[in-house]
Structures are given as structure tokens and as C-alpha cells.
Structure 1
Amino acid sequence: MAKSCGAAVLLLRTFVLLITSSVGALGMRRAVFMNSSKASVNYRNYATGVIIFGDSTVDAGNNNYLLTVVKSNFEPYGRSFQGNEPTGRFCDGKLAVDLIAEKIGYPFPLPYLAPNAHGPAILTGINFASSASGWYDGTARNFNVKGLTEQLGWYKNWKNEVISLVGPEKGEYIIKNALYIISTGSNDWVNNYYINPVLQKEYTQDAYTTFLIGKVRAFLQELYDLGGRNVAVLGLPPLGCLPSQITLHGKGNPGCVEEYNARSFIFNKVFIDLINNELKPNFHGGRLIYIDDYTIFEKILSNPGSYGITELRKGCCGTGVLETAILCNKLSVGTCKDASSYLWWDSFHPSEQANKVLADDIFNQALPILVGPAQP
């Protein structure tokens, strides 16, 4: 662990801040069932599983099996997780996508690279996410992790295995009716563009936004072509409110880095236009929904007490202002005893308490995917 703020900043820059989550459902769909005289929706009858792409916000441990410094399979990560052990999740406990899978009624999707991610266990979902990746594959290459192009390659392999397990008819049913969640993009900015003079020389911020939106368009189109039909894709959070960004770029100001928040807002606006006006009209036989996670973060930041949160500016791990990945370890001085009142677990990633809030909000926004009509 760094012994001074100056040393910590130097080390953190060295690692470039490392990162910015059953066949039984194959029967006829039932819309509603009665439970204690109260109507409840059985979401398993709508989604055959949960398929995840993205970065450290949703990676359940794929980076454990890669030669990269971007890992979290050590203490104190995972101290609130089942069994109180680190799994490779960048959190003290569950990720938002874990909680969403629970809400639907499925086990946590296994990381694709895990040795046990084969056989019946993969029929209710799989997790392809790789921490430190982004929409741009070049962001992933910076850290020797797997970008979306390679994640799609894994997806093709998963599809083939599903079909080999249950046959073409049931296999295609699983693939077509799964819920797909994509969460990525933060690393493209804070762990690539903003620290990469070459990219800054090649692209203005607006031009880089256009470049990334092209990557979004290409990925979502290919996912659709490969069979993804029920897709929820997250926009950017307020990047300027990450503790690491406040520490490195806040210039001593009490609030968030507004320049970075403004870029998130601009990027999301273009993203929404792409989804609603270009892609969704051509998403025949499917459902495509943009998930606004920027707003829920804003709500937490403006009224944290309503969500059981009191600490907004630093993470629980260590000093909470710089530590993430290998800098957040069991020797980190100052790590809090209870992360439940913290918005952030480390200087980049939400706590389990925050993920509970995010999961509820994301799930409610994605609900039309589970119960609403598909695009004609």
C-alpha cells in the first residue's frame, strides 16, 4: 500500500486506475400467479435466464482467469458475499446483476471462464463481463482483459453448448428469451481517453463520443443478429462523482468533477437517441431498452439518507479516495467496518448497499423487457 498520497497517485496512475456484474422456464408462459391472495408476477416465465456483458460493474470473476492486474479475488473484496469470500467481484458483496437474477428467480450467472461454467448450470444464464473493458476494444487491450468483441466470441461458444445440451428447439428458445444486460463505457473515458494523450490528439471529446457510439451501434446490431432479443443497456453514471476522479481531478473542490459529469450527460443523450430513434425501430421481434443509471446516482447523491447511505465522497476500502483493485487489500489502512452506509466500496465501485438501490431501479426500468410486447 502506498505510504503517502503522492506515492499512491503515482502507483494508481501506473495501473491507470484499473477499471471503471433452467430449463424449467421453458414451459408455457403464465402472466400472473396468486400468492397469499396477492397477485405476483413469476418473472421466470418471461426470462429464460440472464446474460451479462460488460466491465467491472458486472464482472463476477472472469478476470480471475486472465493475466492482468485488474483483479479483486482477494480480501477485503467479497467480505459480505455468500461465504464471506472474494470471488472476483469488485464489491464487498453482491453486484446489481446478481440481485436482478435473484429477483427473477435464477442463480447468479457464472463467469464464463469459471471451470464449472458448463452443463446445466449455464442454461439459466452466463456472465461474459471482463473488468477494465469498454465499448472500445482498445480500452480492454490496455489492461490485457477481454473486450466486447471477445465477449461476443464467448457468447457464440455458449450458444453452441446450450444447443448441444438441450437440442436446437429448446436451445434457441433459451437464447431468444433470455434477458441480456450490458454495462460498460466508464473505462473508455476515465481509464483511457482522459489519461491518453494520443486519443486526445486524435479525437475531440465530441468526436470520441461519436466514435464510441459507433461501437455501441455495431455491438448491439451483432448481438441482435446472433439472437439477443431482450436487451437492457446501461448508460454512463456521473463519472465525476467517482471518489478516484474527485481525488485526481477535483482540484480540492467539495463537489464532483462537473466536467466529467457533463460528458456523461452528453454521451448518454446521444446514446438514448441511438437506441430510441435508430436501433429500436429495427429491433423486430425483440425489446431494446436504455437504462438510465445516471439519474438514480443523482437521487442517491442528493438525498442519501433515503437510501440508508451517509458517506458519498469516499469508499469503504482504505482511505477510500484512491484504492481499487490491488490497492484495496486486507492491509489497507482505514478500511471501514461496515460498508452499508457507503455509496462506494472502493474508489470506483458501488457498495452492496448501493447495488441494492441500483438493482431495484434497473429492474423496474427493464420490466417492459420481461412483460411487455416485443417490437413487431
Structure 2
Amino acid sequence: MSSSGIEPEAPDLVCQLDNVQGMVDAFSAVRWKRQQDAVVELSEHGIVLIVEEIGCLQAKVYLQKELFVQYEYNAQGRPRFGVSLGLFVDCLNTFSVPGHSTAIEIRYPGPDMQLLLKSVDSLDACIYAEIRTRIPDTISWDYNFEPAGTTPLSFTVKSAALKEAIDDLEWPGSSIQIILKPVPPSVTFRGEGHGDLQLIYPNTAIPTITLPNNEKIPAVFVFGDSIVDTGNNNNIKTLAKCNYPPYGRDFNGGKPTGRFSNGRVPSDFIAEAFGVKKLLPAYLDPNLREDLLTGVCFASGGNGFDNITSSLPPAFTLSDQLQQFKDYIKKINSAVGEERSATIVSKGIFIICTGTNDILTTYYTTPFRRFHYTIDSYADFLISLASSFIKELHGLGARRFGVLSLPPIGCVPSQRTIRGGLKRKCLDYANKAAILFNSKLASAIHALNSTFSDSNLIYLDVYNPLISLIQNPAKYGMLNA
């Protein structure tokens, strides 16, 4: 005797995502209340998350199906369900492992059923999660999800730049007018009686951000170690100096300036990218004059989050750099007044780049910390110091932060030469330590964003782009890396 089973109905949606951290970053960049719900709408074109409050649109996030490595849509019509945004992001975070390409499957069986998140990689920290869904409230707006390019006016914008610009237009009214213009491509936000804010997108490059009163990013401030030091170590007694050839051979006139590079360093490129200036001067540069108002670099080669690190060899600790920043504020207060000085600080960009020396030197090369910490607990210690430093900068008026991850520190040329053997291989244990630290740093930045609702903190991943370059040099037009 045989029996035939009933074929189970296909789920409304099955999709696979291989960039979980990217999705976490996208959702984290949208300001919503921790306990807030979102309405999720599914379609053949992708997924849209809608956040409303009292019938007013707060945010709308489109996830086109092209973002997914697999997108299997089986529903009739466009089903909707409600889900807790905070819970959804927390679950995504459990799957996200910085330095590792995490892939997950997202499955929605159908109405009044749980949203399922499942790891497709056994290396992930979490392998399965279920999130309760609910019948959504009535949506007050019509959200048609059309494929890119089908609307009369369509151009690509950088979401971080858009959010940054909108944050700078503080209007007390209940509504704003949004105007799109095709030539040149631009978006104008108009608050009645409170002026306009316009973003112009002349090409596919990073858009120019025009703030109220046509004021651009006023200044860039950089703190950290030799990766971003533009010459502060020239002014202290230390072996960690590079104000001699061959350093600077590709700099202006081939002159060494104290930058730990043959040319410019990331501090300079960041300042230029924000349209501030091509070179970011060292705060201790004796020739520093008019450049003061548009930002300076406080970084010191040999620095770390850990004060012990900055004594091997001597470098300015983060506490030293913080004190220098306080002195900087006094100087610009005298030059332009407290009100203008507060604007420079609050609208300026603060970059933090350090931690490599803590792990490579203080932890793995000297015994000072290994007696008391495992690498995991030492990373926690460093993260607590990083968080405290950011909080102190916030207390001084800083509101826009970019915090760089550790690079693949096991692939630093000095480490490959000293410890990498005849083939100068990357040090796996050091790279794993960097991945561990970066995971904790990303979580700390996410937590600080929730704490400081008046600020914008961004985790800047440099590990993955650099390890990709090292492992696949030909892909980037290089013979080796």
C-alpha cells in the first residue's frame, strides 16, 4: 500500500546574501528608534523596508534582487509583514564576521510565519535564527518598487553622503519639499522658512555635498599612528622618525616630511576627498599658520590605544593627542571666536587610525601584556580604550567620526620579512588577531551610534580591500603585493 504526500507549498521568498556586514551597515545608517517596527514588502524586483511613525514616512530602504546571490520569489502579489528592526539587525550581526565573507539564506515561508535566517557557511558564529513576524499596520503611503532606471529621473547617490547632508539641515517644521532636477542631477530639500540644502551629482564620482549657506566640510582631524602621521614625530626624541631619504622621494620635490611613506599618507587623501585640502599638516609643524582652521593631523608614529605601546619607542599617546586637540581648540577660539570654532569642530570629520602597534609590538613582541591577557581579552581592553577616546572627543564637540579597522597586520612588510620565512608569507595568527579586533570594533561603533543620537560614527573596513589586493594582485593591475 502506498500513500502520496502533499507537496509543501513553496515559500514566498528564498534568497541568499553574501555581504551581511554591508546590509548591517546600511540599516545602521538609517535613524530609527530601537524598538521600532518596519513593514517589509516583497516583490519580484526585490525587498523594501518601510519605516513610518504616526503615518509619516521616516525611512524606506530598497534591496534590489541583484544584491543577492540567489533570489527566488514565489508569492502572488506583493506580500507584506511587520518585523522588529532592532531584532533583525541584531540577528544579522550574529552572522557577520569581519574579515570573512559571510553568506546566509533568508527564507520567508508565508503570512503569519517566522522569518528564517540560516548560515550557509559552517565558519559563521551563528547558524540559525528565527524572527517573529506580525500582520503589518496599514501603510499610509504608496511605495511602488520599480527596477532601477525605469523612472524619469534616476541617478546613483552615496547613501552616507545623503544621510550626512540631511542631518545638517535642521528644520523644526513638520514637512519638507524634495525637488529633483535632471540637469545637473541634483536633489534639493526645502524646509519652509529655513532655507535649502542641495546635493549635486555631476558624475559617478563621490558627490559634492553642499551644506546650508554653501558651507562644505570645514576641517579634517586625524588621530592615530604612523599610517596617518604627517610629521608630528619630527618634533620628539624617538627612533620612530622618517624625515630622511628615501622617505618622501615621490613627495613634492622629493623631500622627506616625516610621513612614513614615499609620498602622501591616508590623512592627505582623506582631506582631499572631502574637498578640504590636498595635504593635511602635522599639528606640530613649526610652519603651520593659516592651515590651522581647516584641520590638522595629531597622529604619531608608534602610537597605540594602549599607553604602553606609545613608549616603545616614544610616541604621543592618545591622551597626548587629545590634549593637543584641546590646545588646538583654544587657538582657534582666539582666532575666530567660540561660536565659529564650535562649528568647525562639530561639522569637521574626525578620523581615528591606530591599534596595529598594540597587537604586533606590545602583545606579540613584548611580554608586558601577555602575562595578563589572552589575545581576546586584550582586544576587549583595546576596544574599551577606543570607546573612551571617542567619548572624550564627543565631549569636546566632535560629531562626525570615521574609525579605521586594522589592516591585515600579518602582511605588513616588516612582519613578512622578519617572521614570514624564506617565502615571506603573511602571518596567519596576526591576521586572525586583526579580524578578532575588527569584529569587536565594529560592534562597539554600532553601540556608540545608539548612544550618541546626535553623532554619526562609521566603521571603515580597510582589512578586506587590502587582503583582496594582497591575495589577487593581478585583479588590481599589479604583479605582486
Q: 1:237 to 1:29 in 2, by over 3 A?
A: farther
Is 1:210 the counterpart of 2:377? The answer is: no
Secondary structure of 1:51 counterpart: strand
Is 1:109 the counterpart of 2:283? The answer is: no
Alignment equivalent of 2:299, drawn from 123, 129, 134: 129
Give the counterpart letter for 1:113 in structure 2: L
Q: 1:83 to 1:253 in 2, by over 3 A?
A: closer
Q: 1:51 to 1:39 in 2, by over 3 A?
A: closer
Q: 1:254 to 1:91 in 2, by over 3 A?
A: closer
TM-score (structure 1 length as normaliser): 0.71
1:58-137 aligned at under 5 Å gives the runs 58-107=228-277, 108-118=279-289, 120-137=290-307
Alignment equivalent of 1:163, drawn from 318, 333, 340: 333
Is 1:307 the counterpart of 2:471? The answer is: no
Q: 2 CA distance for matches of 1:308 and 1:112?
A: 36
Please give the per-residue CA displacement for 1:325-369, whole angstroms capped at 9, x wherever unaligned.
Answer: xxxxxxxxxxxxxxxxxxxxxxxxxxxxxxxxxxxxxxxxxxxxx
Contact kept? 1:50, 1:124, Cα under 8 Å: yes
Q: 1:148 to 1:41 in 2, by over 3 A?
A: same
Deviates more, 1:163-172 or 1:244-253: 244-253
Shift of 1:39: 10
Query: 2:397 — aligned with what?
Result: 227
Shift of 1:249: 2.2
Give the counterpart letter for 2:364 in structure 1: Y
Give the counterpart letter for 1:112 in structure 2: Y
Query: 1:374 — aligned with what?
Result: none
Give the counterpart letter for 2:460 in structure 1: I
Contact kept? 1:54, 1:128, Cα under 8 Å: yes
Shift of 1:285: 1.4
CA RMSD of aligned residues (A): 2.4
Give the counterpart letter for 2:305 in structure 1: W
Query: 1:260 — aligned with what?
Result: 430
Give the counterpart letter for 2:311 in structure 1: R
Q: 2 CA distance for matches of 1:252 and 1:84?
A: 33
Shift of 1:190: 1.0
Secondary structure of 2:256 counterpart: coil
Contact kept? 2:280, 2:296, Cα under 8 Å: yes
Q: 2 CA distance for matches of 1:78 and 1:212?
A: 32
Q: 2 CA distance for matches of 1:185 and 1:93?
A: 22
Pick the structure with greater CA Rg: 2
Say how many residue pairs are matched.
Answer: 285
Shift of 1:231: 0.3
Query: 1:41 — aligned with what?
Result: 208
Please give the per-residue CA displacement for 1:162-217, whole angstroms capped at 9, x wherever unaligned.
Answer: 11111111111001100111110000011211111232112111121111111111
Alignment equivalent of 1:287, drawn from 443, 456, 461: 456
Contact kept? 2:232, 2:285, Cα under 8 Å: yes
Q: 1 CA distance for matches of 2:410 and 2:210?
A: 35
Shift of 1:300: 0.8
Q: 1 CA distance for matches of 2:368 and 2:271?
A: 40
Secondary structure of 2:459 counterpart: strand
Give the counterpart letter for 1:115 in structure 2: P
Q: 1:256 to 1:227 in 2, by over 3 A?
A: same
Secondary structure of 1:176 counterpart: helix
Secondary structure of 1:156 counterpart: helix
Contact kept? 1:182, 1:232, Cα under 8 Å: yes
Q: 2 CA distance for matches of 1:161 and 1:247?
A: 44
Is 1:178 the counterpart of 2:345? The answer is: no
Q: 2 CA distance for matches of 1:29 and 1:260?
A: 50
Shift of 1:115: 1.1
Shift of 1:152: 0.2
Query: 2:324 — aligned with what?
Result: 154
Query: 2:369 — aligned with what?
Result: 199
Unaligned runs of 5+ in 1: 1-25, 313-376
Q: 1:47 to 1:195 in 2, by over 3 A?
A: same
Q: 1:77 to 1:298 in 2, by over 3 A?
A: same
Contact kept? 1:137, 1:147, Cα under 8 Å: yes
Q: 1:203 to 1:209 in 2, by over 3 A?
A: same
Deviates more, 1:152-161 or 1:135-144: 135-144
Q: 2 CA distance for matches of 1:242 and 1:193?
A: 16
Shift of 1:227: 1.0
Contact kept? 2:197, 2:210, Cα under 8 Å: no
Higher strand share: 2
Q: 1:33 to 1:39 in 2, by over 3 A?
A: farther
Unaligned runs of 5+ in 2: 1-167, 169-194
